[in-house]
């Protein structure tokens, strides 16, 4: 496995192609105290698709991902994953179903080693052999993580921490990968590397919901995209359509 | 001269081992929830008092001990479920006050149930002291020191070698990220309270044949365990052990060379001195994060 720099093996079994969406959200609302952070949000994520979510700071993108992950409570509406209602399901059980999130700001477990971080990503899994295999795949995908396997995660650079955060989520063997601002605060070269990794995952038919402030990069690789403003979905379409949309170009692409 | 010093050291390390267990109890709960659990001392008291009770009810020693560890563990879980969890989201100070309230309740219940008098049971392996360098070491002291050593080792292995232990560490570092990794953080809290209570109870059981117990021993033992945890660096496991031993030894030396009237003051003086020079305690977490 050490010499593996040939095409990285798929990190997961692709979703069977099916017309029914993997994730379907209807009329979702969420509040912080009395303040509505999400209002009547409806969207769906098709299998093997990359869906991008763009919007300004504070528009509710992160809240939406947190509500999907179950760490933020839905106050109305319904979330269905693979046809199952998960609106009230506890967060750790959603991870067991295969919803894995790379949180905003990376949030690696700083004092724990890189390898421990990865193993904790597989916390819900019991198939030791497959976990060891996936660990090898992560090291092949991000060789720097192998080099630093024994270092505390907190000593990694920002870009390395982001790779670790992505690899940690992948260790959960996701059926749906939620990525929250993976390029935030990174140098342009690292942004490119992170987007290469996302594109690679997409080629492997991973289902991805991507939240990005870097709207151009996100829309360029998205199958479908949603624009969210003040907690509401205001626009949706294919990534290409939105890239050409006048309103999106003005508000988010600075053109 | 030397034999006298050795004698003080023996008693210091013995009582210090119990403080170390109490300090580990504080550390376990603090790491999982950021709460200083001032009911920790009551777990120590419950360990001793319940052993006495179960022995009097006619149970053999091993069964009495197992129950006297299990019951406080359940009390710990109930404390989390009934007192801490409903106050979820309250600030840390409120939670700490809740634990003080809980400790008053536990102490009160035991006082009404078992009375105010002291209680004791015989040492595990008799009272024939072992003479080392002219100083007498009670066999029970060896039980205290040995068992504490085993517990410290077991906890170390749990947190450094098992995924479950690391999941608890991860939860203490970042509960949200832990949830997103699929860790049931509610479970982590319960395990921490149960473990902490069990460790405290074991300390109380081991110490009872030496110092006796009563409904109110938890106050002092708990406070000194807290001093040990803070002196060692709150949140650091090895700090809790070092802090416990240090507090125990200083207390014994004060009692021996100055006056036993001042022995209870020594630990609290120590906390001032240590925090003045080392605000994070002896082994307080150094930040190694890069953002």
Task: Write out pLDDT tens, residues B191-245.
Answer: 999 999 999 999 999 999 999 999 999 999 999 999 999 999 988 889 999 999 9
For residues A137 and B272, the answer to whether their CB atoms sit within 8 Å is no
Question: Cβ contacts (< 8 Å) between B170 and chain A: which residues?
Answer: 109, 112, 120
For residues A147 and A29, the answer to whether their CB atoms sit within 8 Å is no
> What is the distance between the alpha carbons of residues B66 and B46, in angstroms, rounded to a whole number?
13
- The verdict on a CB contact (< 8 Å) between A71 and B169 is no
Q: Could you tell me if residue B26 is left (phi over 0), alpha (psi between -120 and 50 degrees) or otherwise beta?
A: alpha
The CATH number covering residue A241 comes to: 3.40.50.300
Q: Is the pLDDT of residue A5 over 60?
A: no
SS3 B4: helix
* Spatial CA neighbour of B224 closest among B198, B194, B204: B204
Topology at the third CATH level for domain B2-277 = ABC transporter involved in vitamin B12 uptake, BtuC (1.10.3470)
Question: Cβ contacts (< 8 Å) between B233 and chain A: which residues?
Answer: none
> What is the distance between the alpha carbons of residues A134 and A117, in angstroms, rounded to a whole number?
13
Residue A111 lies in a domain: no
ipTM of the complex: 0.90
**Quick one: pLDDT at residue A4?**
40
**Domain boundaries of chain B, sorted by first residue:** 2-277
- The verdict on a CB contact (< 8 Å) between A96 and B182 is yes
Confidence band, pLDDT 50/70/90 cuts, at residue A42: very high
> What is the distance between the alpha carbons of residues A236 and A227, in angstroms, rounded to a whole number?
6
Percentage above 70 pLDDT, chain A = 94
> What is the distance between the alpha carbons of residues A106 and A87, in angstroms, rounded to a whole number?
25
Window from A159-168, B9-18, B122-131 with minimum mean pLDDT? B122-131
**Quick one: pLDDT at residue A1?**
40
* Count of domains observed in chain A: 1
Residue A83 lies in a domain: yes
What residues contact residue B225 under an 8 Å CB cut-off, 6+ apart?
A: B19, B21, B22, B23, B25, B26, B40, B41, B44, B200, B244
**Quick one: pLDDT at residue A13?**
67
**Quick one: pLDDT at residue A12?**
62
Quick check: A104 contacting B, CB < 8 Å? no
Residue A252 lies in a domain: yes
- For B185, the closest chain A residue by CA position comes to A92
Query: Residues A223-247: what's their mean pLDDT?
Result: 92
Structure tokens at A165: 């955060």
- Whole-angstrom CA distances from B282 to B21, B29, B238, B248, B270 are 17, 19, 10, 16, 12
Residue A14 lies in a domain: no
How far away is chain B from the Cα of A146, in angstroms, using its nearest Cα? 19
Structure tokens at A226: 């949603």
Task: Could you list the beta-strand ranges (E) of B55-210.
Answer: 130-132, 135-137
Percentage above 70 pLDDT, chain B = 98
Residue A219 lies in a domain: yes
For residues A69 and A101, the answer to whether their CB atoms sit within 8 Å is yes
What residues contact residue A25 under an 8 Å CB cut-off, 6+ apart?
A: A41, A42, A43, A44, A68, A77, A78, A79, A80
Range of the domain at A54: 20-98+174-183+207-255
Buried (b) or exposed (e) across B194-207, using 16+ Cβ within 10 A?
Answer: bbbbbbbbbbbbbb
């Amino acid at each position: 496995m050490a010499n593996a720099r040939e095409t990285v093996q798929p990190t997961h079994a692709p979703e069977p192609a099916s017309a029914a969406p993997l994730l379907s959200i209807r009329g979702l609302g969420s509040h912080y105290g009395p303040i509505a952070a999400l209002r009547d949000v409806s969207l769906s994520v098709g299998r093997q698709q990359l869906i991008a979510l763009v919007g300004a700071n504070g528009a509710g993108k992160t809240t939406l991902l947190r509500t999907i992950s179950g760490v933020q409570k839905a106050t109305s509406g319904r979330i269905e994953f693979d046809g199952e209602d998960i609106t009230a399901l506890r967060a750790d059980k959603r991870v067991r179903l295969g919803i894995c999130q790379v949180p905003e700001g990376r949030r690696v477990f700083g004092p724990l080693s890189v390898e421990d971080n990865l193993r904790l990503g597989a916390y819900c899994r019991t198939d030791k052999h497959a976990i060891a295999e996936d660990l090898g795949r992560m090291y092949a995908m991000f060789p720097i993580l192998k080099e630093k396997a024994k270092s505390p995660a907190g000593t990694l650079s920002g870009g390395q921490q982001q790779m670790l955060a992505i690899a940690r989520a992948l260790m959960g063997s996701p059926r749906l990968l939620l990525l929250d601002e993976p390029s935030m605060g990174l140098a342009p070269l690292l942004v490119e590397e992170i987007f290469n990794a996302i594109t690679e995952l997409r080629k492997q038919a991973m289902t991805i919901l991507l939240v990005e402030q870097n709207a151009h990069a996100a829309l360029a690789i998205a199958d479908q995209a949603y624009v969210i403003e003040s907690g509401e979905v205001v626009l949706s379409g294919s990534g290409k359509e939105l890239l050409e949309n006048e309103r999106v170009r003005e508000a988010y692409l600075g053109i | 001269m030397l034999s006298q010093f050795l004698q003080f050291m023996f008693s210091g390390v013995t009582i210090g081992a119990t403080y170390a267990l109490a300090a580990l109890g504080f550390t376990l709960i603090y790491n999982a929830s950021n709460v200083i659990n001032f009911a920790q001392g009551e777990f120590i008291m419950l360990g001793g008092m319940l052993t006495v009770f179960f022995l009097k009810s006619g149970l053999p020693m091993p069964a009495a001990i197992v129950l006297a560890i299990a019951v406080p563990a359940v009390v710990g879980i109930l404390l989390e479920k009934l007192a801490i969890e409903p106050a979820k989201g309250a600030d840390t100070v409120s939670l700490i006050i809740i634990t003080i309230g809980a400790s008053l309740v536990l102490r009160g219940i035991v006082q009404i149930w078992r009375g105010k008098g002291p209680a004791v049971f015989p040492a595990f392996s008799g009272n024939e002291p072992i003479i080392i360098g002219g100083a007498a070491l009670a066999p029970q002291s060896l039980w205290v020191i040995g068992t504490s050593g085993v517990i410290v080792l077991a906890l170390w292995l749990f947190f450094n070698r098992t995924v479950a232990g690391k999941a608890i560490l991860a939860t203490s570092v970042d509960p949200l990220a832990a949830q997103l990794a699929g860790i049931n953080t509610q479970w982590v809290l319960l395990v921490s309270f149960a473990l902490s209570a069990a460790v405290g109870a074991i300390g109380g059981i081991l110490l009872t044949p030496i110092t006796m117990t009563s409904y109110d021993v938890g106050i002092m033992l708990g406070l000194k365990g807290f001093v040990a945890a803070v002196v060692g660096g709150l949140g650091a496991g090895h700090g809790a052990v070092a802090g416990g031993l240090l507090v125990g030894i200083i207390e014994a030396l004060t009692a021996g060379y100055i006056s036993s009237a001042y022995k209870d003051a020594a630990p609290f003086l120590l906390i001032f001195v240590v925090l003045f020079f080392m605000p994070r305690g002896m082994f307080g977490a150094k930040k190694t994060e890069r953002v």
